[in-house]
Amino acid sequence: MWLIKEVFYQRKRHYLTIIASCIAIVLVLLVNIISSFIIENVNLSFEQLGLNISCIQLLEKRNDNWIDSVIEIYDIRKYSSYKKIQGRDYKVIGCNSNLSKVFTFNFERGHFLTPTGNRYNDNQIVIGSKLKHYFNCYQLNDFINFNGITFQVVGILEKDNYNLYEDFDDCIFIFEGYVKDYTQSGLYFVSNKVFDESYISELLGEDNYFFIDQRQTKDSLIALLNLIRNVLLALSFVSVVVSIICIVNNSLSNIYSRMKEIGIKKALGASNEDIYRQFILESILIFLISIVISCLIVLAIIKLINLTTKNEVEIDFVSNIKYITLILIIASSCNIYPAKKASEITIIETIKNNEFS
């Protein structure tokens, strides 16, 4: 209570300290929160786009056994094939729970996935927008006949699907149970494991495949974003250092302007340790106040960002505790020197300073 009262009375002297530490803390928190949000979203987008898988596209079929070898080695469960429908090639892409994420968003009509429990319905299908005319299917839940099998249309892919694969307009997406029927001229292989490119090259011939390692793309992008975050964090910690220099300077000048108070307390029996403790506790309290103010500022800024950009940046102060604690420790330990200086002031110095009596 005494401490709060003392800090409150001296508030004008602490404004500069509070402002400087708030700027530093807000910078660190904002950099961390926003960059974490970006990284998390990139990660999520990659997952939604199915980019957490590796993909290989064959340009030419070499032998009959390669599919089985690749499937066995890379745990490939889904693949696609071109299928000629009335003289035209259509891609038929099978999907599993990983690849299916590609199709769970950007749908204007319906959802591709209609899970029944944890299983997908085998005789359901999603068709590309060009194919709706071909199949004469303009609404969901229509039934179409494809290669002698009747499928229920659970999704119609409209244009503007932002996918890794460029045109899905002329694609048919079918589910696991039927994929096997279309594997003979397979083109795409997807796997949760990383392809060994040298093996694929040896197996298929150097120019006969197109290799997309989406994980690599994702990892390098995430690594880049992490690097940017770390650089920004380092820069904001530079601002912390600048603030601390400012705080130490301010604390030192505070001490000399508070000589009378120190003198009175010492005359009343305060020891050097009492004065030292008081200044350290004051600095901790000031930084705690700064942290609370900074959190409120960050909260307001993030709300504003969410409101103006229609994003949903989440504020997780708990995950930022390590940074906050680090700043608190650095800042408080920087006040050790001013506190020590204050504790070493003698009563006679305060008297000679004409402040005391």
Partner 1 sequence: MIKLDKAVKKYKVDNKDLLALNYLDLILEENCFVAIVGVSGCGKSTLLNVIAGYDKIDYGYYYFNNKDVNKFSKKEKSKLIKNIGVIFQDFNLLEYLTVKENILLATRYMNSKKDLLKVAKKLDILDILNKYPSQLSGGQKQRVAIARCLITNKKIILADEPTGSLDKDNAIKIMEIFKKLNDEGIAIVIVTHDENIASRCKKIIRMENGRVVN
Name the site residues for partner 1 (rule: CB under 8 A): 2, 5-6, 8-10, 260-261, 263-271, 274, 346-348, 351, 356-357
- Find out whether 110 and 156 touch, Cβ atoms under 8 Å: yes
Smallest gap, in angstroms, from Cβ of residue 357 to partner 1? 4
Complex with partner 1: residue 60 or 273, whichever CB lies closer = 273
In whole angstroms, how close is the CB of 285 to partner 1 at the nearest point? Answer: 15
Nearest distance from C-beta of residue 222 to partner 1, angstroms: 53
Residue 271 C-beta: closest distance to partner 1, Å: 6
- What is the smallest separation between the CB atom of 254 and partner 1, expressed in angstroms? 14
Residue closer to partner 1 (CB basis): 25 or 345: 345
Specify whether the CB–CB gap between 21 and 286 falls below 8 A: yes
- In the block, tokens 């699907």 appear at 161
Residue found by looking up tokens 């990659």 in the block? 46
CA pair distance 79, 68, nearest whole angstrom: 12
Query: Smaller CB distance to partner 1: residue 297 or 347?
Result: 347
Considering the complex, state which of residue 233 and residue 351 has its C-beta at the smaller distance from partner 1.
351
Range list of β-strands (E), the chain: 54-58, 79-85, 88-94, 109-110, 115-116, 119-120, 124-128, 143-146, 149-157, 171-174, 186-191, 209-213
Query: Least Å distance between CB 258 and partner 1?
Result: 11
Picking from 146, 173, 169, 148, the residue whose alpha carbon sits closest to that of residue 159 is: 169
Smallest distance, partner 1 to C-beta of residue 272, A: 8
Residue 12 or 133 having the CB closest to partner 1: 12
Nearer to partner 1, 83 or 265 (CB): 265
Count helices and strands (H / E) in the chain.
12, 12
Report CA torsion sign: 75, 77, 78, 84: positive
Q: Residue 268 or residue 307: which is nearer to partner 1 going by CB?
A: 268
Report the alpha-carbon distance of residue 198 to residue 62 in Å, rounded: 16
Q: Which of 101, 132, 179 is nearest to 140 (CA)?
A: 132
| Residue placing its CB nearer to partner 1 in the complex, 264 or 336 | 264
* 356: its two tokens: 């005391």
Q: How far is CA 288 from CA 173, 273, 275, in A?
A: 57, 22, 20
* Of residues 84, 87, 91, 189, the one with CA closest to residue 147: 84
Closest approach, Cβ 292 to partner 1, in A, equals 22
Select 148 or 269, whichever has its Cβ closest to partner 1.
269
| Residue carrying the six token digits 């504003």 | 304
Tokens coding 70: 């690749």
Residue matched to tokens 């001296």:
10
Shortest Cβ 47–partner 1 spacing (Å)? 58
Are 173 and 103 in contact by the 8 Å Cβ rule? The answer is: yes
